[in-house]
A and B are shown apart, each in its own frame.
Chain A
C-alpha cells in the first residue's frame, strides 16, 4: 500500500543544517519529490530524485534515498529564516500519475 510519513515539526537555528526525514512503504515508487509550502501559498517544487539514485545535490539542498529502508531525507545547508515553511515529500509509483504526499514537516528557523 501507499503511506508516506514525516515528523510534524523541526526547529533549527539560522545557519545550521536542517534534515527533514520521510519514510514510504511502496517499493515500486519511481520518483520521490520534495515540495515547499509557505503560509498562504501554493506548493513549490524544490527537487526530486529518481529511484535508481542514492543522492542528489542542488545548491543548498541534498536529497538522500535509502531504498532498502524506504527512507528519504532532505538536507538544507545554511538554513535561513526564509526557509521556514512546511515541507512535503511525495511519491509516484511505477506507471502511476498521482502524487501521494506525506503529512508535511513544519520547519521553524530561529535567529
Chain B
C-alpha cells in the first residue's frame, strides 16, 4: 500500500516569510513518482513539480524549492519570501511506477497575510 502524509493542516505566515510544507510518503516500490500541486481558492489543481524516485536532486524554481530525501521518505516544499498569491491548499501526491492513479496527501492550507 502507498500513503502520503502531510502532517501540517494549516500554516499561516506574514508576507515575505518563508514557509516549508512537509510531505512524507510510504511505498514498497522502487520506482515511483512524487508530485506537488497547488489548489488556489478558485479550485483548479495547478501542477508544480514531479520527481521520480531515482532523481534525488533538489530543485529550485523561482521562489519555490523542493528537498527530496529518500532516506527519510520525504519530499518537502519551501516557498521563499511568501506572497499573498501563494495562499492556497498544497497537495503532495505519489504514483507507483506502473500505476495510473495518484494518491494525494490531505493537503496543507497556506494563508499568507499582507
- Please indicate whether A and B come from the same complex rather than being unrelated chains: no
A interface vs B, CB < 8 Å? none
